[in-house]
Amino acid sequence: MKVSYVGILLNQSMYRGITTGRTETEVLAFYEEGARMYGLKPCYICLDDLRAHQATVPAFVKKGNGYRRVRIPVPRIIHNRALLFSTREKEKLNRIAEARFIVFNRWNRYSKLYIHSLLWADPEIRPHLAYTVSGTAENVRLMMKSYNTLFIKPNSGSIGAGIMRITRTDKGWKFSYAVRVKGRKRWKSILFTDTLPGHLLKKLTARKYHIQEALSLATYRGNPFDLRVSVQKDASGDWQVTGMVGKVAPAGRFLSNVGQGGKVHKLADLLDEYPNLKAKVVERDIGEFALRVVRRLEESIPGLADVGLDIGLTKEGLPLFIECNGRDQRYAFRNVRMLKEWKATYANPMGYAKYLLDKLKTKG
């Protein structure tokens, strides 16, 4: 019986860890379980082994209780879970996709400023966005005239790394940024009035940043929170919301990222302090907004099919877009014990792979 493979493209570090069970945030057992639901068999590949016009590829395939590296026909459908940074890698992945293979979530690293510009062009989404400009010293000074708090964020990056903040004080301004002290992260602040701190100017010239007004987010026990919303295409071929989980910033901090010490909670728990907000209504509104966002992004980003949106919430219940993660790490659902949703984040891409495979078979 012919095996219908679906490829899972992994980074080298994850790929090398398959035989020892060290695949970082990826849970291969959930891919296996999800693929079985659709009569597929996942195989795990890395970009270095792929060639645009080759017929076979070495891949890890589950055999018994472990994994063996075998050579198999190149899967027609590939789900990209690798973080690829270089132009060379991007060009290679494009060549593979243009040959005769479908790679969904083909390129999952986009400038945050680019994503913002796509959404800003939509008048229905614009009221849900922070005003954002490119990261120059001149723009910092201009934004300081209009806003009391600004975030300066790297155009690329994850888990909140590299974010800086400027806040108006009674006597001027406070610039806050992270430093490493004996291997541990600490926040350092500099007070200033008119002249921008040298550390900020140095950062702005070293890499690309963007500047955003600070959104007024709802809080939980005095700390701001937002939601990670998994939005994926499934076996229907259409977008759906797989699940959402709240992330609360540590006391006295402003970053809710789990990798920065944020704590996860279910949405209903976070809304206990807001009797005017009904959890089901808020969840529906966030879901509808998330679907509007991904459908707008899909118009400009080919192959988009699996993202994690960070969406904030005002005290009145208005969803606010924070950022789009092209490779959602999914573990927030694990941390809050939402096992059904966690597994579904793996199963839905397998369902979408089946949908794409069936379309290819129909075309002959």
CATH number of 217-329: 3.30.470.20
Give the chain's mean pLDDT.
92
Question: Token pair of 84, please?
Answer: 């690829």
Match 């999800």 to its residue by tokens. 34
Compute the average pLDDT of residues 203-210.
Answer: 94
The answer to whether residue 83 scores a pLDDT higher than 70 is yes
Q: Taking a C-beta distance cutoff of 8 angstroms, is the pair 12, 46 a contact?
A: yes
Domain boundaries, the chain: 5-108, 131-213, 217-329
Cα–Cα distance measured from residue 247 to residue 263, given in angstroms and rounded to the nearest whole number = 5
CA dihedral over 239, 329, 208, 13, signed as positive or negative: negative
User: How high is the pLDDT of residue 257?
Assistant: 61
Question: With bands split at pLDDT 50, 70 and 90, how would you rate the model's confidence at 232?
Answer: very high
Over 80: is that where the pLDDT of 157 sits? no
Other beta carbons less than 10 A from residue 123's beta carbon: 7
pTM for this prediction: 0.92
CB-CB neighbours of 262 under 10 Å: 25
8 Å CB contact between 309 and 294: yes
Kindly state the DSSP code that residue 231 receives in the 8-state scheme: E
For 80, 297, 327, the CA distances from 98, given in Å and listed in that order, are 15, 21, 22
Tens-digit pLDDT profile for residues 292-316: 999 999 999 989 999 999 999 999 9
Helix or strand or coil: residue 79?
strand
Structure confidence at residue 258 (pLDDT): 66
Q: How far is CA 145 from CA 142, 168, 194, 342, in A?
A: 5, 10, 11, 44
Task: Report the distance separating Cα 149 and Cα 354, nearest Å.
Answer: 47
pLDDT at position 161 over 80: no
- C-alpha 246/C-alpha 227 separation (Å) is 4
CA 58 to chain centre: 28
CATH number of 5-108: 3.40.50.20
